[in-house]
Amino acid sequence: MSLTTVAELRAALGVGTLYADATLQSVCDAADDVLLPFIWANTEFAIAHKNEGTVGTLYFDINVEEIYYIGQTINIEGAGPHFSGNKTITSVDSKEITVTTTHLTDKPYHPFNPYATVKATEYLDPADVKAIQEASLMVAIDIWQSRQAPSSGGVTIDGYQPSPYRMGNTLLARVRGLLAPYLDPRSMVG
């Protein structure tokens, strides 16, 4: 479910039933795709893996001994069909964890390109935070308005120069005040 519902977006835009729910839902989903990677989450990134029988090892570029524990259930995404899904951790070392996989053949150490995502239990649900929901609605409105009039920036009085593209780097800057307490510092690199 999206942070912004179709009904909320429909009401904010004042479009009534003019557009199909699926069309508006795609905008709501796009707003989530823009915002959620920047929100603090209990997520790390596996850089490589190997397999020995049904024992799969995930490697990290940080110390994970204080992040994960034996018996913890994690969700792995982007790691191929044998690693992806909910797994239970069977051992933890400084920069690696092991889980049971469905591999039957040994695979040597090799990197993930792009990195695999390892998610543990979440303690912050963005759907419960009103500021994040409002930011999602604002981004959804900007995406919608950019779809309808792609060059719809303002114009200066003296030069008649259009403002930067609405979907540019200022998209998140306009809602950063709402999101500030919930932003993941790792997402601010660059």
- Residues 69, 104 share a domain: yes
- pLDDT reported for residue 179: 93
Per-residue pLDDT, 3: 94
Domain finish residue from 67, 86, 119: 119
- Within a domain: residue 1? no
pLDDT band at 56 (very low <50, low <70, confident <90, very high): very high
Q: Is residue 50 part of a domain?
A: yes
> Are both 49 and 107 inside the same structural domain?
yes
The domain boundary residue, chosen from 70, 100, 119: 119
State whether 30 and 68 are in the same domain.
no
Q: What is the pTM of this model?
A: 0.74
What DSSP string runs through 93-162? ETTEEEEE-S--S-EEEEEEEEEEEEE---S--GGG-HHHHHHHHHHHHHHHHHHHSTT---B-TTT-PB
